[in-house]
Structure 1
């Protein structure tokens, strides 16, 4: 006979608590999973726990909420310029065009985080996110920096300026004036540093770091050499030889001509030019008479004539300046235009002397009379010009042509012709004259030339060389 095996009531009672426990555990797991998933979904739009941006805790905040906080924080940021750690000027960073809307950056950071990691982030250390470098509106930044530059420049003008050591002229000449350590700042360097600090996110700049330092000090070798150069120039032995006479340019005059500017040593050209021009006024033989020790009348003053020179002021100014700036002793004669050398005496011991008062002519060679004769000079209406002339040519058998007082023309053949000026005046033989000397010039005087006895003229022509000075007075 078969029979079935039945569970006892006692066995069933023992298993029921276990089943209930398992069901509860499974339910709790499901609920926990659902809760975690819910929180993970929340962190799709919120920042994970323990998340910071800079010093700001953005945990469980949306991008909009964080952006609002950042806006407020950045709106309050200032950039402060300090002087000796004291505020000189504080400027809102927004005035520089600081960008304060971080919506795009925050949204990107949210997209990059793993919302399912929120649990681990609850127990881990804080994580700091980087928004990147602060952004500025370039136009607004440039405009505000232009204003800041103006403010710094204006303020700089109220400070004691820093000065380099330099050379200055005093009563005793040039000397070194020591440098001055002032308070002024290098505005350009300060502005560059301020911009770098601002763009790097920093908030202060100490302006004392940019106080200008003297670039040249009193012991600067180059400055000392410049002083030595000035001293050499000021004390140079500058000697002129004019008309055979030498003289030195006074040192105090040369020192007055010196110009020192930014390390460059030169001369005041206008002052040197004025000096050279005055030399011309004093010495030009083209405008000044010459003193001459005559045979019968002692010292006489002979006007300027064809034998003369004129200082070329521009050329001589440049040449004189170059010699002085070389700083070495020199002797020079002025650059001149004319028929004579400005450095040598206009005439020496060889010359022809024509004394119109005494109507007499002498030829001196090396200080000795080689020939003398009575003459006839120009009549009252055509006087022989006075002056320092010279024989600029020698010619034989010439015909001298001109116009008489009545307008008629004349032609006078001569055997010997020595022209002495540029108007047709010269020395020649005159066989038409009945006599020479005395008062004959008043009645039978020439058209301006020096009429000479034919026999004497032949001798004179043979003795005299081209270039011989002729003094007529």
Structure 2
């Protein structure tokens, strides 16, 4: 009898537990389980209608806070962004998915919050918010220590690795991206301190050490040009000042290289600078630039020079990229040329340094003088007709030397004894070099197209 009495106790307890369990199962058929959360709003023990009402009231005054080291830095009213949620559908779906038979789990395990489905928002207002936040964060960063990557810098004597700096500056792009995401969840805050910038490149980076080695190699190269017969060296200190290490890449400062090339051009371009010439009778003279010359192609040479220097190898005798009728590879005026001395009214033709022909000539009269310049024979023509404003003159031999109609030709109309002296002042040409017919026939046969013509 006593044994049967003790058996009744656990049976009674089991019945009580079953009754309570069953009651709870029925209770949570239409109510949310304990500690249930939707968008971080507690809806436990609420009906679907009660939960929807509670969520709507909370969402109308929901605030998102940006924290700076735990202290509120900026508050954002979500309603200002006109965010709309499908509350009724989200609530009904969440309630339907819960299992009332497991009503006891929330007491022993943490419940995850369910996010509401966002249906719409004002995109323009959101972008304005993100932009203004980024601007304010930029101002905040001014009072913080900037985080810097390890870098390679020149200290005036050599390149060296400058260690990274771990500051407390904020990573603005990451913050705005996180803000844009968190605004549409149930989250109500974001801690700025979690978004400190971190150095990406450190002083022990092997890649950085390799780049330093490359830079030092480039900085020590010996480089020079051959321009118009001159050896022109590029100062090593200039090359060192051009080197730049940016975004993990060794390159040269384009503006600095370009400035150097432009200076080369302004110093040596024969298309704009006068040439020094050793004349037959007057010694060394300065002759203005003319049709024969060259110009350094600044854009092309800047690009090619940059590429060559970055290879890190010595080079010499480089001929710069150029355009024009001449070439900087050798002196503009070599050993073969025609010399026209306006003062002495005389012309010489030298071939490989040897005088082949000389003659008295008649150049332009004072009103239409023959312009001094470094020109060249760019064409040869037999039996041509020279045409001007007030003349039309046939000649047997014609060699144009500039782009304005000036050339060397025979002049059978001139008296044979008039060549040389001061005849040009009274019977001078329209600018061409009048040559005795017999001599012109010889010169025409000797001279090749491309021969320089020095008029001074």
TM over 0.5: same fold? yes
CA distance in 1, matches of 2:339, 2:292: 14
Aligned to 2:218: 233
Q: Quick check: 2:400–2:408 contact (8 Å CA) kept in 1?
A: yes
Kindly indicate whether residue 392 of structure 2 is the aligned counterpart of residue 410 of structure 1: yes
Bigger radius of gyration, 1 or 2? 1
Kindly indicate whether residue 266 of structure 2 is the aligned counterpart of residue 277 of structure 1: no
- Is there any run of 5+ residues in structure 2 with no aligned partner, and where? 1-7, 28-33, 36-44, 55-65, 73-77, 79-86, 122-128
CA distance in 1, matches of 2:376, 2:439: 19
Q: Secondary structure at the match of 1:301?
A: strand
Q: Quick check: 2:385–2:392 contact (8 Å CA) kept in 1?
A: no
Aligned to 1:329: 314
Q: Quick check: 2:383–2:394 contact (8 Å CA) kept in 1?
A: no
Q: 1:208 to 1:386 in 2, by over 3 A?
A: closer
Aligned to 1:445: 428
- CA deviation map 1:275-319 (0-9, x unaligned): 222222222211111100111100001111111112222222222
Aligned to 2:112: 133
CA distance in 1, matches of 2:322, 2:241: 25
Q: Quick check: 2:70–2:191 contact (8 Å CA) kept in 1?
A: no
CA distance in 1, matches of 2:98, 2:346: 123
CA displacement at 1:225 relative to structure 2: 1.5
Please list every run of at least 4 consecutive aligned residues from structure 1 whose deviation after the TM superposition is greater than 6 angstroms. Answer: 86-89, 108-111, 150-156, 184-187, 205-212
CA displacement at 1:41 relative to structure 2: 8.8
Q: Quick check: 2:294–2:324 contact (8 Å CA) kept in 1?
A: yes
Tell me the TM-score normalised to structure 2 length: 0.67
CA displacement at 1:381 relative to structure 2: 1.5
Q: Secondary structure at the match of 1:230?
A: helix
Aligned to 2:446: 463
CA distance in 1, matches of 2:324, 2:138: 62
Aligned to 1:472: 455
Aligned to 1:393: 379
Q: 1:217 to 1:443 in 2, by over 3 A?
A: same
Aligned to 1:378: 364
Q: 1:208 to 1:422 in 2, by over 3 A?
A: closer
Q: Give runs of aligned pairs for residues 185-196 of structure 1, distance below 5 A.
A: none
CA distance in 1, matches of 2:218, 2:427: 63
Q: 1:320 to 1:212 in 2, by over 3 A?
A: closer
Q: Give runs of aligned pairs for residues 194-209 of structure 1, distance below 5 A.
A: none
Aligned to 2:352: 366
- Is there any run of 5+ residues in structure 1 with no aligned partner, and where? 1-28, 48-52, 55-62, 72-80, 90-94, 115-126, 200-204
Q: Give runs of aligned pairs for residues 47-86 of structure 1, distance below 5 A.
A: none
CA displacement at 1:322 relative to structure 2: 1.8
Aligned to 2:404: 423
CA distance in 2, matches of 1:311, 1:375: 35
Q: Quick check: 1:105–1:131 contact (8 Å CA) kept in 2?
A: no
CA distance in 2, matches of 1:387, 1:366: 21
- CA deviation map 1:65-123 (0-9, x unaligned): xx9xxx9xxxxxxxxx999xx9778xxxxx9xxx9xx9x999x9997499xxxxxxxxx
Aligned to 2:31: none
CA distance in 1, matches of 2:165, 2:434: 81
Q: 1:452 to 1:177 in 2, by over 3 A?
A: same
Aligned to 1:261: 246
Q: Say which of 339, 348, 357 aligns to 2:343.
A: 357
Q: Say which of 409, 412, 416 aligns to 1:434.
A: 416
CA displacement at 1:339 relative to structure 2: 0.8
Q: Say which of 291, 297, 307 aligns to 2:276.
A: 291
Q: How many residues align?
A: 390
Q: Quick check: 2:254–2:302 contact (8 Å CA) kept in 1?
A: yes
CA distance in 2, matches of 1:186, 1:310: 50
What is the aligned-residue RMSD (CA, Å)?
Answer: 5.2
Tell me the TM-score normalised to structure 1 length: 0.65
- CA deviation map 1:201-254 (0-9, x unaligned): xxxx99999876543222211101222222233333232221121211112222
CA distance in 2, matches of 1:333, 1:110: 85
Q: 1:343 to 1:136 in 2, by over 3 A?
A: same
Aligned to 2:290: 305
Q: 1:220 to 1:380 in 2, by over 3 A?
A: same
CA displacement at 1:427 relative to structure 2: 1.7
Aligned to 1:218: 203
CA distance in 2, matches of 1:391, 1:225: 55
